[in-house]
Amino acid sequence: MGKSAQKFAIGTVIAAAAGYVAGVLTAPKSGKETRQDIKDTASRSVTEAEKELKKLHTELNALLEESKQKGSQLSEKASKELDALLEKAKESKEKARVLLSAIHEGDAEDKDLAQAIKDANKAIDHIRTYLQK
């Protein structure tokens, strides 16, 4: 997914969430029902972020394996470049793993999830670009 598509998707999700919350807050429901609706929406958002993070974690695993295989065929300079990319990808993968655990424990924050998804997508884009050379 390109950066502009990612920004558009994130903007769309934020706008939809804001619209939903505004609608919920102005709806003629009791406070208890409104709080439950907001809680349910937040829960769905975390679930969607978790799914995206799991998908990216799996994709990073596959790209790291592919990169290892290609790395043995590269020159010393190219191998060093690939090693630097792989190190960043491994860091993103580990961050995703930690956050997936935090989600299950209920300790994940939205900003951390958003950053982990962004970092994983960036690492995937860099590795794919490098592998296409």
Buried b (16+ CB within 10 A) or exposed e, 83-115: eebbeebeebbebbeebbeebeeeebeeebbee
Amino acid 98: pLDDT: 83
Amino acid 8: pLDDT: 65
| Domain, as residue range, for 25 | 3-131
Amino acid 72: pLDDT: 67
What is the C-alpha separation between 97 and 81, in angstroms, rounded?
Answer: 25
**How many distinct structural domains can be found in the chain?**
1
Can you give the pTM of this predicted structure? Answer: 0.52
Cα dihedral 121, 126, 128, 129 in deg (nearest 10): 140
pLDDT digits (tens, 9 = 90+) for 18-59: 777 766 566 666 667 766 766 666 667 777 877 888 888 888
pLDDT digits (tens, 9 = 90+) for 68-105: 777 666 777 777 887 888 888 888 888 888 888 887 77
